[in-house]
């Protein structure tokens, strides 16, 4: 194991064990290096690496802290990786969405507060089937993001949000080229919303599956042609 990797693992174990809790300050560099049996250079490299993925927060003149370790914060590194996806991998993102989003939607039907369900309806009312494609897709993103948050699972919500972004171009493309695509999308969104309003988790999951699979099927056919 490389020295930096060993240092990263030791700091990680400190956090996992509760020796340093989320939001707490790490011991000063010299003391921490001695405690972990590391050179100060290895420790600095480990701290730099862990700060890049939002595990540690280095505050100049103050010290180094463990972050809140919130899933949304830690999964920001995933969004960086996702940004490098190739256009020919977009179908794989749709496949992941088809796995994750029905689960999130079913959970939202059971856990989303009534006020958030009403807000979801307002998002739908903000566009029509004739809205410009860019506006429609922006609202589409917000609709799915709200549902994922409504699942009550912050890890799942962050994953859904990150998986959704690489598919934006395909959704704009569909809206511009497929007849009545936006009309069909809006109808499916309203069916999902109604199932959530009725706390019908099974129906909400089913409509989410139909919705994502329909876009995936269209894209697969279009790319083949």
pLDDT tens-digit series, residues 185-200: 999 999 999 999 999 9
26: Cβ–Cβ under 8 A, 6 or more apart, which residues?
A: 11, 14, 20, 32, 56, 63, 64, 65, 66
Same domain membership, residue 152 and residue 48:
no
Predicted confidence at residue 5, as pLDDT, reads: 83
Q: What are phi and psi of 63, to 5 degrees?
A: 140, -170
pLDDT (average), residues 60-67: 89
- Give the number of other CB atoms < 10 A from CB of residue 47: 20
One domain, residues 83 and 163 = yes
- The parent domain of residue 157 ranges over 74-224
Q: How high is the pLDDT of residue 84? A: 46
Same domain, 133 and 220: yes
For residue range 15-44, what is the model confidence (pLDDT) as tens digits?
A: 888 888 889 999 999 999 998 888 888 898
Question: Over 60: is that where the pLDDT of 110 sits?
Answer: yes
Which of 69, 91, 119 represents a domain boundary (last residue)? 69
213 and 108 assigned to the same domain = yes
**Domain identity same for 59 and 104:** no
**Predicted pLDDT at 119:** 95
Alpha-carbon gap, residue 154 to 145, rounded angstroms: 11
In this structure, how many other beta carbons lie within 10 angstroms of the beta carbon of residue 67?
17
Residue range 94-115: mean pLDDT, rounded: 94
The DSSP result for the chain, as a single string, is --HHHHHHHHHHHHHHHTSS-TTPBPPPHHHHHHHHT--HHHHHHHHHHHHHTTSEEEETTTEEEE----HHHHTHHHHHHHTT--GGGHHHHHHHHHHHHHHHHHHHHHHS-HHHHHHHHHHHHT--TTS-HHHHHHHHHHHHHHHHHHTT-HHHHHHHHHHHGGGHHHHHHHHHHSTTHHHHHHHHHHHHHHHHHTT-HHHHHHHHHHHHHHHHHHHHHHHH-
Q: Are residues 119 and 166 in the same domain?
A: yes
Asked if residue 121 and residue 179 are part of one domain, the reply reads yes
Beta bridge partners of 183: none
Q: At what angle do helices 133-150 and 154-164 cross, to 10 degrees?
A: 160
* pLDDT at res. 161: 83
99 vs 85 pLDDT, higher one: 99
Does 65 lie in the same domain as 96?
no
User: HSE on the CB side for 201, CA within 13 Å?
Assistant: 10
What CATH number does residue 12 fall under? Answer: 1.10.10.10
Rounded to an integer, the average pLDDT of 163-189 is 79
Q: What is the domain count for the chain?
A: 2
Q: In terms of domains, do 121 and 217 share one?
A: yes
Beta-carbon-side half-sphere exposure of residue 223 (alpha carbons within 13 Å): 12
Determine the average pLDDT of the residues in 207-213: 94
Is 34 in the same domain as 128?
no
- CATH number of the domain where residue 190 is located: 1.20.120.530
Instruction: Average the pLDDT over 133-162 and give the result.
Output: 90
Q: What pLDDT shows up at residue 218?
A: 83
Same domain, 111 and 220: yes
Identify whether residues 124 and 46 lie together within a single domain: no
């Amino acid at each position: 194991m490389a020295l930096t990797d060993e240092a990263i693992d030791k700091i990680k174990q400190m956090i996992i064990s509760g020796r340093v809790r989320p939001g707490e300050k790490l011991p000063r560099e010299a003391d921490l290096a001695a405690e972990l049996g590391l050179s100060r250079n290895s420790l600095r490299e480990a701290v730099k690496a862990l700060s890049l993925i939002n595990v540690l927060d280095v505050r100049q003149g103050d010290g180094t802290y463990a972050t809140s370790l919130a899933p949304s914060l830690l999964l920001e590194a995933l969004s960086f990786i996702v940004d490098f996806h190739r256009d020919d991998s977009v179908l794989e993102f749709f496949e992941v969405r088809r796995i994750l989003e029905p689960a999130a939607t079913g959970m939202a039907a059971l856990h989303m507060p009534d006020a958030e369900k009403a807000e979801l309806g307002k998002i739908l009312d903000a566009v029509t089937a004739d809205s410009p494609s860019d506006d429609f897709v922006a609202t589409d993103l917000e609709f799915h993001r709200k549902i994922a948050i409504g699942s009550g699972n912050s890890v799942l919500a962050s994953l859904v949000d990150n998986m959704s972004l690489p598919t934006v171009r395909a959704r704009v493309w569909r809206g511009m080229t497929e007849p009545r695509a936006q009309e069909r999308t809006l109808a499916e969104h309203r069916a999902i919303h109604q199932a959530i309003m009725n706390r019908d988790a099974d129906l909400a999951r089913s409509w989410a599956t139909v919705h994502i699979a329909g876009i995936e099927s269209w894209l697969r056919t279009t790319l083949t042609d």
